[in-house]
Structure 1
Amino acid sequence: MAATRPGRLPGRHRRSAERQATYSEVFAIGEFRALWVGQCLSLLGDQLAQVALALLVFERTRSPFATAAVYALTYLPPILGGPLLAGLADRYARRQVMIVCDVVRALLVGLMAVPSMPFPVLCALVFCVVLLSSPFTAARAALLPEILEGDRYVAGSALQNMTNQAVQMLGFAAGAGVIATIGAHHGLALDAVTFLASALILTIGVLRRPAPYPENGIHASIWSMTKSGARLVFGDKRLRTLVMFAWLCGFYVLPEGIAVPYAATLSDDPRTITLITGLLMAAMPTGTVLGAFAFSRFVTPSGRLRTMGWMAMLSCAPLMGCVLRPPLAIVLALWILAGMGGAYQLAANAAFVQCVPASRRGQAFGLVQSGLLAVQGIGILVGGAAAQALGPEPVVALAGAAGLSVAVMLAMLWTGSRTEIITRVRTPVA
């Protein structure tokens, strides 16, 4: 019998295992820490800016419609310009794209903080600031797989996801307190400082890398890159299915858009309605934090890909229970459970990275991000109109039922596409 190395099983008894990355392992990477800290600063600054901007516009116009219209500007630019500008992340060095976007946004937000700024100019500045988030986000999404390889990418994505949701849960309340203390204009100025701080952190903490090398050796025009990216994303069955998984969120984020009228069905007292609204809006982000932690920490990489369809169904199915008009505690439990199901996006994101060439990730991520914003905006708009006629509870239930139907179809499509990707993430024991 041939001898075997200590600690290794012979022949047919050899087993394969999958190594799961830990959060401490990811945080030990300096470049990821720089990205994460910069992200935290930008998110906190954006929360301050949203509160400050809403107060500033309302103070000037006394118009709820004008206030809502300026808020709507945060959805429109990435939908219109995202697919075009995201290609910059594949043409230029991604670190450079992020730094330039941060510096320019700092200057624009600084102009917004000027007290005498005319209202039309203020709206134009808001549009430009949000528009620049498209190439920045695309560059960061494309850079992260270069910094974090293998399952570290999933762990890092989970940390970023949890950070986003945690800031959403806490940012508005803290932002309102800060703005009440320092004023709207100073709040915008503070947001400008966070962009500058983010640019400085990226400059110091992230290594220089060359611009992605084009596949054929020739840089195409931005419009050609956009068309090529669309063909890549929607011409591949696997990528097309993964994009549909990402855009499924249009169904399960709808309840957040009608949280106020939903809260009004549970109480008649204005103060209680405000409190319930806060609880409802925090429910899904809370579930997402819990789900992202458990899904990335306790499920193997291939296990995430196998259960992705079931998790997608979980993101929608609990919402159907709202048709029974349950009490607040049950509604919160249902929405938290749906938020936990939304953790499947981690697996979808990781699979997407596996299937997209590194030189084209910026454009691909930009297209997906623009679609995400579009489906969320459309979903909330349709949900609000339907709730006006039917009431919020049946609309939430209908959104859950429709989303579940789509999730079932996507799960069936994914079953036939996942084998190759699962093979890639499986690593034999050395």
Structure 2
Amino acid sequence: MVTRVGFGAVLAVAEFRAMWTAELLSICGDQLARVALAVLVFQRTDSAALTGLTYALTYVPSLLGGVLLAGAGDRWPRRDVMIVSDLARAALVAVIAIPGVPLWVLCVLVAVMTMLGGPFKAAQQALLPSVLEGERYLVGMALRNVTIQGAQLAGFAGGGLLITALAPTAALALDAVTFLLSAALLASGVRRRPAVATTTTTGGRTWLVSTTAGARLIWRDPALRTLVALNWLAGFYIVPEALAAPYAAGIGAGATLVGLIMAADPAGSVLGGFAFGKWIPEATQVRLLGWLGIAAGLPLVVFVVRPGLVPAVVLLAASGLLATGYNIQGTVSFMRRVPDEHRAQCAGVNSAGLITVQGVGAAAAGVLADVLSPAHTIALAGAAGAAVAVPIARAWRRVRLLGSEEER
């Protein structure tokens, strides 16, 4: 049976269209900024270590933002939180783009800018279920997955071309403009809704106590715990991306083809977004959640035989496609189950944990690859991910069956 709601029906919702376009602009600008920062820092320092540190600062602080600041999307109107985050990031990037900014100042500004992405994303994820109702929410999340992955690919590819035509500082100024455009789209296209968490609902709790409320809520609910565990399987499935360069060298593919290997998983995710968003009914996806978590690791196990470039790309794309199925539906099920007054905080906890496990997975992969080969490390990660997914799948089945019995 074909899903009745298509991408067109989702894009017909004016508020979603504004949020979707704003996010697309921000992602393209962010990817461009990452390339520009790497080039800028390397030009000024000629240091690979400092370049890597600066690049890491475009990811790592979002962990703190996701935990400490995500609750802003529950305490204040979510549209306002997104607009303020955009305007603040535009101002920070504009300062970073000024020629001659001291390196330590640049690093601090990059870290703060990245941290502000945490409350933005949490508020956005919490607002989407209110903008898109019923099946439109699932299809909207699938469309976001397709465009986010596509924008990341385009941002990296186009970023390199733009940096050759523009100075890094000019590219950073362009990123600031994307944040301003995003804020303008949100202000004009998204209705302002009141804050969901009032003094009554928070009970006058301190910021610290309120910040941990999301984690406590997730821990007490077996379904939420299971969905978070499923999402965090990415700690295993990030390994091929982390080892793309040494794997390419090992099969004689050369440095120029590293990008192709890294792009395989996102390309599979784009296909998965179309498949799960347009053709597979939601009820089927809910039943298959656990199985998809297991299946996403199986193509990686084949790397034990060190496949060549073309088979490797196909296997990575297959893994990305399958992982997209449990990521999209898992996020939808998670956000629907969380009470509205805690959605931003819980979304922040989930995202922060995801970033953490991906960082740990990538770091562990590098250590293991020095002991084993990159190919065997990828295979081991796939096997471990599939094995860990088995008890998660069983837990999801129990939760789902229990929910069905309670509905009767």
TM-score range (shorter-chain normalised) is over 0.9
Q: What is aligned with 1:109?
A: 93
Map Cα deviations across residues 155-178 of structure 1 (whole Å, 9 max, x no partner).
111111111111222221111111
Map Cα deviations across residues 33-73 of structure 1 (whole Å, 9 max, x no partner).
10011011101100110000000010111110011111121
Q: What is aligned with 1:132?
A: 116
Map Cα deviations across residues 344-363 of structure 1 (whole Å, 9 max, x no partner).
11111111022100111000
Paired letter, 2:230 = F
2:332 aligned to 322, 328, 350, which one? 350
Q: Structure 1 residue 369: deviation in Å? A: 0.4
**2:122–2:345 Cα contact (<8 Å) kept:** yes
- Residue 74 (1) aligns with residue 55 (2): no
Q: What is aligned with 2:263?
A: 282
Q: Structure 1 residue 407: deviation in Å? A: 0.9
Paired letter, 2:331 = N
Aligned residues: 406
Q: What is aligned with 1:205?
A: 189
Q: What is aligned with 2:281?
A: 300
1:415 aligned to 386, 397, 400, which one? 397
**1:323–1:393 Cα contact (<8 Å) kept:** yes
Paired letter, 2:284 = G
**1:301–1:425 Cα contact (<8 Å) kept:** no
Q: What is aligned with 1:95?
A: 79
**1:82–1:134 Cα contact (<8 Å) kept:** yes
Paired letter, 1:281 = M
Q: What is aligned with 1:226?
A: 211
- Residue 260 (1) aligns with residue 241 (2): no
Secondary structure at the aligned position of 1:96 is classed as helix
1:397 aligned to 379, 392, 400, which one? 379
Q: Structure 1 residue 420: deviation in Å? A: 6.0
Per mean C-alpha deviation after superposition, the further-off stretch among 274-283 and 362-371 is 274-283
RMSD: 1.8
**1:142–1:361 Cα contact (<8 Å) kept:** yes
2:31 aligned to 42, 47, 69, which one? 47
Q: Any unmatched runs of 5+ in structure 1?
A: 1-16
**1:70–1:123 Cα contact (<8 Å) kept:** yes
Runs of 4+ in structure 1 deviating by more than 6 angstroms, as ranges, are 422-426
1:244 aligned to 207, 229, 242, which one? 229
- 2: CA distance between counterparts of 1:141 and 1:279? 30
Q: What is aligned with 1:10?
A: none
Map Cα deviations across residues 380-417 of structure 1 (whole Å, 9 max, x no partner).
11101111221200000000010000111111110001
Q: What is aligned with 1:328?
A: 309
Q: What is aligned with 2:364?
A: 382
Per mean C-alpha deviation after superposition, the further-off stretch among 392-401 and 284-293 is 284-293
Secondary structure at the aligned position of 1:281 is classed as helix
Map Cα deviations across residues 102-154 of structure 1 (whole Å, 9 max, x no partner).
00100000000000100000000000000000000000000000000111111
Secondary structure at the aligned position of 1:103 is classed as helix
**2:22–2:182 Cα contact (<8 Å) kept:** yes
**1:309–1:410 Cα contact (<8 Å) kept:** yes
Q: Structure 1 residue 300: deviation in Å? A: 1.3
- 2: CA distance between counterparts of 1:235 and 1:116? 51
Secondary structure at the aligned position of 1:76 is classed as coil
- Residue 58 (1) aligns with residue 42 (2): yes
Per mean C-alpha deviation after superposition, the further-off stretch among 66-75 and 317-326 is 66-75
**1:314–1:337 Cα contact (<8 Å) kept:** no
Q: What is aligned with 1:118?
A: 102
Percentage of identical aligned residues: 45
Map Cα deviations across residues 218-265 of structure 1 (whole Å, 9 max, x no partner).
453221112211110111111000000010111111110110001001
- 1: CA distance between counterparts of 2:122 and 2:100? 34
Q: For residues 337 and 62 of structure 1, do their structure 2 counterparts lie closer, same or farther at Cα, with a shift above 3 Å needed?
A: same
Per mean C-alpha deviation after superposition, the further-off stretch among 373-382 and 210-219 is 210-219
Q: Structure 1 residue 78: deviation in Å? A: 2.0
Q: Structure 1 residue 422: deviation in Å? A: 6.7
- 2: CA distance between counterparts of 1:116 and 1:273? 36
Q: What is aligned with 2:347?
A: 365
Q: For residues 37 and 395 of structure 1, do their structure 2 counterparts lie closer, same or farther at Cα, with a shift above 3 Å needed?
A: same
Paired letter, 2:206 = S
- 1: CA distance between counterparts of 2:226 and 2:380? 23
Higher radius of gyration, 1 or 2: 1
Give the TM-score normalised by the residue count of structure 1: 0.91
- 1: CA distance between counterparts of 2:404 and 2:133? 16
Q: Structure 1 residue 423: deviation in Å? A: 8.8
**2:335–2:347 Cα contact (<8 Å) kept:** no
Map Cα deviations across residues 155-205 of structure 1 (whole Å, 9 max, x no partner).
111111111111222221111111110110000000000000000000000
Q: For residues 58 and 188 of structure 1, do their structure 2 counterparts lie closer, same or farther at Cα, with a shift above 3 Å needed?
A: same
Aligned runs of 1:310-329 on 2, under 5 Å? 310-329=291-310
Per mean C-alpha deviation after superposition, the further-off stretch among 386-395 and 91-100 is 386-395
**1:109–1:129 Cα contact (<8 Å) kept:** yes
Q: For residues 221 and 20 of structure 1, do their structure 2 counterparts lie closer, same or farther at Cα, with a shift above 3 Å needed?
A: farther
Q: Any unmatched runs of 5+ in structure 2?
A: none
Q: What is aligned with 1:12?
A: none
Q: What is aligned with 2:318?
A: 337
Q: Structure 1 residue 19: deviation in Å? A: 6.5
- 2: CA distance between counterparts of 1:217 and 1:189? 40
